[in-house]
Chain A
């Protein structure tokens, strides 16, 4: 008889020590309920454009079902190089500077494993996407958080980096436009950070999966900044811009020696990204620009709609300039992120992701994805509005004897 208890002792303590995703528990709760409007989905609500799906089907009909080279189809790498060149004026040699990966997720893992040794430290913006810190830990190194906040627009600043850097710091992960905050990073800010990266000899792993989804200003590709191309591992993919999340195809671009070693891990662990997905990605890059722009325009309008909705509900929300997330501050309700999300789900059947799922820096916030139809967004906002109104009026009465507004974060929760 082997119960789960026995198995625990076989498991690598490093892996055991990694907390499971905070989203999981909430997902179980939400998926049991019917008629839930979800603003909790971190992927486009569009289905992959038809021409891309059709190209994939054609490739299957012709029997393209084999492995590709470890690097990925040369055709795809050429298209990626062309796209990066056209968009950001940064050139990569498709022969040895680009590796096609199984989504950016694999790219993050490969880059970190190629780079890190035990004892190394990696700077990670917080709040941030859920996988960076666990991947750093799995690679044997330690994550160090750069705590961004609404005051600096959830942007990493040079000052934060400067304070966090130690002799052990080897790399820094950047992810702008950002999941979960929707923040973008200002070019001048980025320039200062890059300057520090140079002086401290840091490698930057830049996850730019949301680059095309920039609504205010223009996205700056880290590798395109002076002197940064050879210090940056650029990660990107097709999931968000071309609505291709389930295809699992992304890429890493960088120094050829480094890419060669990333490829070594990739060839032993993944072999190659699925060929059907790679063929679809070629079609996306060749003929998908207009379709992508149309989708981005729609996100842009919904972004305004959701911002206005939070304003009317009395939830302060920092203006997201990219991705498809809004990150409103819910502390006015006196609830913690998890309480808010849970009660909102139970009472109003609206699913959002509690901010603390993205690290403690996200506490007091919820992540709402506006990759949803206008109808759903409008209805979700209406429900959220009445939920917040109930909480705020109730909170005020109950907590009146407790006094200070500053205490509300800790204060209200117990009372409610």
Chain B
């Protein structure tokens, strides 16, 4: 199972047949396993990884450090939920250290993101403070180097 997950994590477009051959199982068995993994929400989705900037679409994103006041019984979760339900928010993580949540927000313009932070995020009850860092450049996201100059430079045929 771990092998299937690793393979799909790396390339979600592998067919059941390819997966089956590569790990030495029957195609139907692999199909069943993947369906189970989807059903159990172990596989949460299949996405296409797009370099929007290269596609000519300007997007603005920001990393926001959020300090919050944990609440009795629900801890950080209730506040986190109020934040992650916003569609502008792409990622929310609870972290150790000087602040509590790392929130990633995406929008079409700088103003839009700024407004979201000041009007929506910072005003949520139990949010103590926010510190917004606008992203200037992406180098590597989720294990993928954005502008990878390393291509196959091997000769066509070698002994």
Contact = CB atoms under 8 A, between A and B. Distances in A.
How big is the B interface, by class?
Answer: 10 to 19
Nearest to A297: B3
A30 B154 contact: no
B150 interface: yes
Contact of A30 (B150, B156, B159): B156
Given A47-B150, A301-B23, A42 B18 contact: no
Interface string B8-45: 00010010001001111000000000000000000000
A346 to B, nearest CB: 14
A160 interface: no
Interface in A324-373: 351, 353, 357
Nearest to B24: A304
B136 interface: no
Contacts of B158: 23, 27, 40-43
Nearest to A36: B156
Interface string B129-155: 000000000000000000000101011
A305 B22 contact: yes
What does DSSP make chain B's interface, helix, strand, loop or mixed? Answer: loop
B156 A41 contact: yes
B95 interface: no
Contact of B156 (A21, A38, A179, A301): A38
Contacts of A308: 21
Contacts of B18: 305, 374, 378
Contacts of A47: 150
Contacts of A38: 154, 156-157
Given A304-B24, A378-B18, A31 B159 contact: no
A130 B159 contact: yes
A349 to B, nearest CB: 11
A357 B24 CA distance: 32
A302 B19 CA distance: 10
A42 to B, nearest CB: 5
A145 interface: no
A88 interface: no
B22 A23 contact: no
Given A47-B150, A374-B11, A129 B159 contact: yes
Contacts of B157: 23, 26-27, 30-31, 38, 40-41, 351, 353
A41 B154 CA distance: 7
Contact of A302 (B14, B22, B24): B22
Nearest to A352: B157
A26 B156 CA distance: 10
B155 A41 contact: yes
Interface of B: 7, 11, 14, 18, 21-24, 150, 152, 154-159
Interface of A: 21, 23, 26-27, 30-31, 36, 38, 40-43, 45, 47, 129-131, 179, 301-302, 304-305, 308, 351, 353, 357, 374, 378
5 contacts: A27-B155, A27-B158, A31-B157, A36-B156, A304-B22
Given A23-B157, A27-B156, A41-B157, 14 more contacts: A21-B159, A27-B158, A31-B155, A31-B157, A38-B157, A41-B155, A42-B159, A43-B154, A129-B159, A301-B22, A302-B22, A304-B22, A353-B157, A357-B159
